[in-house]
Amino acid sequence: MTLHGKVVFMTNADDNSGETLIKRLADEGAHFILNSVSDGKDIQESLAYCQSQGVKTTVVNVDLSKSSEVKTMLERVAPQIGTVDVFIHNTNVVIPTSVETCDEETFLKVMDRNTKSAFICTKEVGKQMAEKESGRIIYISSIHAEKPTGSSFVYSVSRGALKLLARESALYLGRYGVNVNAIELGPIDGDDEKFTSHISKLYDDYQYKVPSTRLGNDDDLADLVLYLASDHARYINGADIRLDGGFLLHYMDHKMKKPTVRSESHPS
């Protein structure tokens, strides 16, 4: 039980990856504070699983881009569940936007949800962790912290800023025994539609751009999250780990392992 008795605070528990992450960490003995915009309605299965395993869970629904709300919430839940040992920022809001036409409201919305929330939570859980002189902060970011999308510029900007938050807090909180890292997740199923672009063909045939041709999934992510949360990762700090099966390594002419199209005729 790698995370026996540890308290994990995760944002956006309603995310598709939430169920897999919760189950994996619950199996390792973690307890949870889960921020859920559906107030737990969309994560009933996960909550039932936790209950069956004797895992403590607290579902909250606060605006993570406000220090006062996050601080008050953490203080409120601490007596029942404890202070945070592992923080997982799992918020990836993608809204199609162009540099030329995006409006200010959308820009601020994406930045606040994807970046400001990470900053505010890092500050507030960072104080709890500093007190204990231990803790792990994991941002689930994206390869678009490096590669432009050609379709959702604010998203990439929010991921670029998160990369530097990881480095900055790794340095600052590192002095208190806290490790901070970012996972830059590459393509998983459904991302071709998420980043449809008129400028970039990055996601055309995207499964074949992964050299092994096996697209990643939530289990791949959960494995790395668990590793970073565990004591095995004690010397990893301020890293941004590209988790994309090698997707970003192509330059222009890909020798993709794409299956050749078979002829319809059947030579005898």
- Interacting residues toward other proteins by CB under 8 A: 65-67, 98-100, 102, 104, 107-108, 111, 115-116, 119-120, 122-123, 126-127, 130, 144-145, 147-150, 153, 156-165, 167-173, 199-200, 238
Task: Compute the least distance from the CB of residue 33 to other proteins, in Å.
Answer: 20
Return the number of the residue (56 or 167) whose C-beta is nearest other proteins.
Answer: 167
Q: Can you tell me the distance from the alpha carbon of 99 to that of 58, in angstroms, rounded to the nearest whole number?
A: 39
Task: Compute the least distance from the CB of residue 206 to other proteins, in Å.
Answer: 17
Return the number of the residue (140 or 162) whose C-beta is nearest other proteins.
Answer: 162
- Torsion, Cα 92 195 180 228, to 10 degrees, reads 100
Task: Compute the least distance from the CB of residue 198 to other proteins, in Å.
Answer: 9
Return the number of the residue (34 or 183) whose C-beta is nearest other proteins.
Answer: 183
Task: Compute the least distance from the CB of residue 88 to other proteins, in Å.
Answer: 18
Task: Compute the least distance from the CB of residue 257 to other proteins, in Å.
Answer: 26
Task: Compute the least distance from the CB of residue 244 to other proteins, in Å.
Answer: 17
Q: Can you tell me the distance from the alpha carbon of 69 to that of 152, in angstroms, rounded to the nearest whole number?
A: 29
Order of all β-strands in the sheet with 240-243 = 57-60, 31-35, 7-10, 86-89, 135-142, 178-185, 240-243
Return the number of the residue (20 or 114) whose C-beta is nearest other proteins.
Answer: 114
Strand pairing report for 31-35 and 135-142: unpaired
Beta carbons of 179 and 172 less than 8 angstroms apart: no
Q: Can you tell me the distance from the alpha carbon of 209 to that of 200, in angstroms, rounded to the nearest whole number?
A: 14
DSSP letters of 10-30?
A: ES-TTSTTHHHHHHHHHHTT-
Strand pairing report for 57-60 and 7-10: unpaired
